[in-house]
Amino acid sequence: MSPVVDAGIEAPQSRAIGPAGQPIPIAATFDPKALTPVLFLPRSAAGAARLELEGGPYSRASVENIASGARRDFDLTGAKTLVLDLAHGPLAATLQPGRDSLGQTGNMR
């Protein structure tokens, strides 16, 4: 399991895995206004990282490249993982809660 720096109460225990299977350290906290999980991933020359999404379900990820300010949203409906490119700078991924099979909003357990 990759190291996670828990900067908030009940931060998600998501993991990031590099292309060779190596763990990538992440820091996890919550957005103080929206109470949604925010995951910080470091720049990595290895490039692609698979983020295993724990604590979901999540409907969307809003990802920002911290170095360039570029932003992109990803649809996560039903997804258990998200692959991100870390070669161009560190990333901040804000996870928006989705609804589970019972219609309840996820991640606030």
What is the residue-level pLDDT of the chain in tens, covering all 109 positions? 556 555 544 555 688 999 889 999 999 888 888 888 899 999 988 889 999 988 878 999 999 999 999 999 999 988 999 999 999 999 999 999 887 544 444 444 3
Say what the pLDDT of residue 74 is.
Answer: 96
Task: Output the CA torsion sign for 26, 30, 99, 66.
Answer: negative
Confidence at residue 12, expressed as pLDDT on a 0 to 100 scale = 57
Q: Which domains does the chain have, with CATH numbers?
A: 4-97 (2.60.40)
By the 8 A CB rule, do 95 and 36 touch? yes
Query: What number of CA atoms fall less than 13 Å from residue 29's CA on the CB side?
Result: 9
Q: What is the pTM of this model?
A: 0.77
